[in-house]
Amino acid sequence: MINLRSNFFFKKFFIFIVSAALCFCGCKRIEKSDDGEDSTVDDIEEVSKAAYQRILNLKLPLKTVLIAEAYSLTIPQNCDFEVQKVTPEEVVLGNIDLAKIDTAFLSINLGGIFSKNDGLYSEQVYIIPSNDPKRFSIADLKSGNERIDAVYYEDENSIIYDQGETFFTYNIQYDEAKKCFLFYKAEISWTQKYPKKQKLELSVHLLKHAKSLLTTNYPQAKFDSWNDYVQNMPVLEVNWVNNMFTKIEKELKYFLDTNDQVSPRTPSNYTFVALFSPSQETLSDFYKSINQLKTNQVIESDYSSREVILNIDSQYSYQLREEAGCYVVSNSAKMRDGYTAHTFTTVFCPVVYKGKTFILKTDKELTPSHADFFVKMFSYFSKHYTLKTSATK
């Protein structure tokens, strides 16, 4: 005869065991709240070997630059950099005790398209001289740091973690030839309100930048099209650009009147690109300026009475390049000693929609390193009136 009471309790016990096993084996990460309690569940997983390798295999055009006439670093092709000296008191590198360092050292700020103006993230490289290759380590960096909420990737020289919604990427390399440490630090602030999964994927892309710093033998890669850019960019950056151009697309198709222009604001309240709806007179002025640059005969005109898309000045030296339906105009101020000041670049692209010509223009002066990104982007938009591609993630 079956004991129904025993059978009932056996079933309850079995259900409890199965439920506990599912909770233990689940792949979701428990995150700590400010008071130390396990209060929220987030479905971000650690970076798998497959995901890490996929990003490492993506195309990344690189260039080697000379820092302070002494150090060679390899950085992304579309990055600029600024160098300054800093003291240990000015720098935070996780939990590493920088009081051990008694002299100033070099700080290199990398400026890419998404970090330079809008501050989507920041990238710094610190060059710290040392004769001891074991002086600093990732273990030192995270040792005793109770503010780390979750570690998503870690190897002997690198770590990615978040701390109060801010994502940090660190990499430490020792340059035996120059007897110095390279500390790479990237940060995606808590103020950037994007999905954590996208911030984590971007962090792995940034780690790829870090691991390229001492690379000397790399392929000469380049992006052939906007689709090529999209296939190799972080999802967060692709979505960021697409969101901006959704506004441009609507203005182009529905709202922009003749002699109007629009410059959508980025999430950080910067302008990114401008779209002009010129009158025939304004459009004629634009092409007159282009023709002057083609013939290298800059003649200043009085455009004060109307809108100007391309204003040229004989006090500047210009270079014009035509590529993929775009005009790439670089200008630098002429100096008395014969030298020229810094060169800035603007990209223009005519967009013909329903028989009317619009002009896309970069709204900030670019450095030459950034121009190709906008050329490929504008060229695609001028043909498809959207940036959505078959490769859009």
Neighbours of 248 (CB within 10 A): 24
Q: Which one of 160, 179, 211 terminates a domain?
A: 211
Residue 6 pLDDT > 70: no
Q: Are residues 153 and 89 in the same domain?
A: yes
Query: Are 251 and 206 part of one and the same domain?
Result: no
Residues 198 and 275 reside in one and the same domain: no
| Same domain assignment for residues 118 and 260 | no
Q: Which pLDDT value is given to residue 391?
A: 60
Band (249; pLDDT cuts 50, 70, 90): very high
Average pLDDT, integer, range 341-356: 91
Q: Do both 184 and 272 map to the same domain?
A: no
391 located within any domain? no
Cα(345)–Cα(364) distance, rounded to whole angstroms? 9
Nearest Cα neighbor of 315 from 336, 329, 292, 289 is 336
CA-to-CA distance for 351 and 92, rounded, in angstroms? 47
pLDDT for 18 beyond 80: no
Same domain (yes/no): 195, 255: no
Which of the listed residues 159, 186, 211 is the one where a domain comes to its end?
211
- Of residues 320 and 146, the one with the higher pLDDT is 320
Long-range contacts at 189-195 (CB < 8 A, ≥ 24 apart): 189/119, 189/121, 190/164, 190/165, 190/166, 192/120, 192/121, 192/267, 193/267, 194/236
pTM (two decimals): 0.85
Do 97 and 47 share a structural domain? yes
Residue 252 lies in a domain: yes
Q: Which two tokens stand for residue 32?
A: 């700590």
Same domain, 267 and 135: no
Question: What distance in Å separates the CA atoms of residue 202 and residue 350, rounded to the nearest whole number?
Answer: 32
| 45 falls within a domain | yes
pLDDT at site 393: 57
CATH of the domain at 72: 3.40.1000
**Which pair of structure tokens corresponds to residue 211?**
């691991």
Is 360 within a domain? Answer: yes
pLDDT band at 367 (very low <50, low <70, confident <90, very high): confident
Q: Count of domains in the chain?
A: 2
What is the rounded average pLDDT of the residues 149-160?
95
CB–CB of 170/94 below 8 Å?
yes
In angstroms, rounded to a whole number, what is the distance separating the alpha carbons of residues 61 and 215?
Answer: 12
Quote the percentage of the chain above a pLDDT of 90. 66
Q: Are residues 238 and 320 in the same domain?
A: yes
341 is a domain residue: yes
Average pLDDT over residues 308-337: 87
Per the structure block, which two tokens stand in for 262? 């629009």
Unique residue bearing structure tokens 């859009």: 392
Do 168 and 258 lie in one domain? The reply is no
With respect to residue 50, please indicate whether it lies within any of the assigned structural domains.
Answer: yes
- Statement to judge: residues 176 and 121 lie in one domain: yes
Give me the pLDDT at residue 87, please.
94
* Structure confidence at residue 8 as a pLDDT band (50, 70, 90): very low
Report pLDDT digits (tens) over 231-244. 999 999 999 999 99
96 and 236 co-located in one domain: no
Residue pair 141/96 in contact by the 8 Å Cβ criterion: yes
5 found inside a domain: no
**Residues 211, 216, 217: CA angle, nearest 5 degrees:** 105
Q: What is the DSSP letter of 98?
A: G
Residue that finishes a domain, picked among 211, 240, 270? 211
Name the residue among 355, 212, 359 with its Cα closest to residue 287: 359
| Domain annotation covers residue 70 | yes
Contact 105, 85 (CB under 8 A): yes
Determine the pLDDT at residue 300: 67
Examine the pLDDT at 41 and tell me if it is beyond 50.
Answer: no
Mean pLDDT of 127-146: 89
pLDDT band, residue 316 (cuts 50/70/90):
confident
Q: Which residue is it, tokens 């996929």?
A: 54
State which residues form the domain around 278: 226-384
Q: What is the pLDDT of residues 47-65, one digit of tens each?
A: 999 999 999 999 999 999 9
pLDDT at residue 372 above 80? Answer: yes
